[in-house]
Amino acid sequence: MYFKLDTPFSILSLKDFREDQRAFSNKLGENFREWGFCGLKDHGIDTDLLNDTQELFKEFFDLPDDFKKKFFKPSLHGARGYTPFKTETAKDSLIADLKEFWHVGRELSQDDPYRKWMPENIDIVEIDQFKEKTNSLFFQFDQLGNILLEAIAIYLDLSPDYFHEITNKGNSVMRVIHYPPIKYHEEGERAEAHEDINLITLLIGGQQAGLEILSKDKKWFRASVSNNVIICNIGDMLQRLTNNFLKSTTHRVRAIGTEMASSRYSIPFFVHPNPDWFIKTLSNKIDENNPNLYPEGIYAEDFLQERLKEIKLM
């Protein structure tokens, strides 16, 4: 059942965080508790840079498959560069998603010990300023993610800088997605129902119809926002850390009716922790009424590898 609501969750202004961190953090946390999602305006992402990057990728995705596949590196398991149409499959799904995408990650020096987990980004020299613009947009997303993690830490009664050293070399990924027009009777969805792997996700492109989120009472809500709003949501790593206090919400992307005839583009930024961070349930989220649901901790990299296998990128 669908409820045609533009935003079942609230739209918050990042300006309010600068003025009253506790009040903003509480509103953010309340939305995450109810929906696992929240909208954010006045977020500081440069509009011109964003528009330029989106145009670069529209140009790329319009190119022939043979050219695009030159940037597909199976040995990287989707960590960088191009992943072709119908490659990724949602956990527990038998049908691949109807999408193609490009991944940009953190740029590290050659001697950085984290380089073993984070390969160098792939450039498309045929597209002017490709690497420069994509790396710049990654950096702005990364900075925004740090601010939102500060707000989440405050909501969880932790030090505001709790996540700083956990994510300062985080294996975060900016994914630029193209959902092509869907052929008549083509099997599958643009993105089958799933939960995100990481800590939090920041999404640009929510103004285009298709995103659906599953409520606590198991009803699907269609969510769309204005062009200047970023959609934020909880991932499974934060769910584990908080003992399900902040839950990762199931969501999907579907095309209905005339939406099938058009392409859809979006840019989610998946905020990941450092690969060697050990995910262990917060002690202040465990008590006699809330036993530890994740008694065995796990390293972030091991958790990521498990999930990449489940979605068939490994």
Query: Is 168's pLDDT higher than 60?
Result: yes
Report the pLDDT value the prediction gives residue 290, as an integer from 0 to 100. Answer: 97
Domains: count for the chain: 1
Give backbone dihedrals phi and psi of 306, rounded to 5 degrees, phi first: -60, -45
Q: Which pLDDT band holds residue 97 (cuts at 50, 70, 90)?
A: very high
Distance of CA 70 to the CA centre of its chain: 25
Q: Count other C-beta atoms under 10 Å from residue 27's C-beta.
A: 18
Q: Which of 14-18, 130-134, 172-176, 202-206 has the lowest mean pLDDT?
A: 202-206
Q: What CATH number is given to the structural domain containing 62? A: 2.60.120.330
Q: Which residue range forms the structural domain that includes residue 72?
A: 2-310
pLDDT in tens, 183-216: 877 888 899 999 999 999 999 986 787 899 999 9
- In angstroms, the CA 9 to CA 213 distance is 10
Q: 217-245 b/e with 16+ CB inside 10 Å = b? A: eeebbbbbbeeebbbbbbbbbbbbbbbeb
Q: Which pLDDT band holds residue 162 (cuts at 50, 70, 90)?
A: very high
Token pair of 28, please? 């953010």
Query: Is 2's pLDDT higher than 80?
Result: no
Report the pLDDT value the prediction gives residue 183, as an integer from 0 to 100. Answer: 83
Q: How much of the chain, in percent, has pLDDT values that exceed 90? A: 82
Q: Which pLDDT band holds residue 47 (cuts at 50, 70, 90)?
A: very high
Query: Is 28's pLDDT higher than 80?
Result: yes
Token pair of 16, please? 């309010």
Q: Which pLDDT band holds residue 5 (cuts at 50, 70, 90)?
A: low
- In angstroms, the CA 161 to CA 154 distance is 9
Report the pLDDT value the prediction gives residue 213, as an integer from 0 to 100. Answer: 94
Q: How much of the chain, in percent, has pLDDT values that exceed 70? A: 97
Q: At what angle do helices 130-155 and 21-34 cross, to 10 degrees?
A: 90
DSSP per residue, 239-283: HHHTTTSSPPPPEEE---GGGGGS-EEEEEEEE---TT-EE---G
Report the pLDDT value the prediction gives residue 173, as an integer from 0 to 100. Answer: 98
pTM of the predicted model as reported, rounded to 2 decimal places: 0.95
The gap between the terminal CA atoms of the chain, to the nearest Å, is 34
- In angstroms, the CA 88 to CA 197 distance is 14
Looking at every residue in the chain, the average pLDDT score rounds to: 93
Mean pLDDT to the nearest integer, 246-261: 90
Query: Is 4's pLDDT higher than 80?
Result: no
- In angstroms, the CA 25 to CA 160 distance is 10
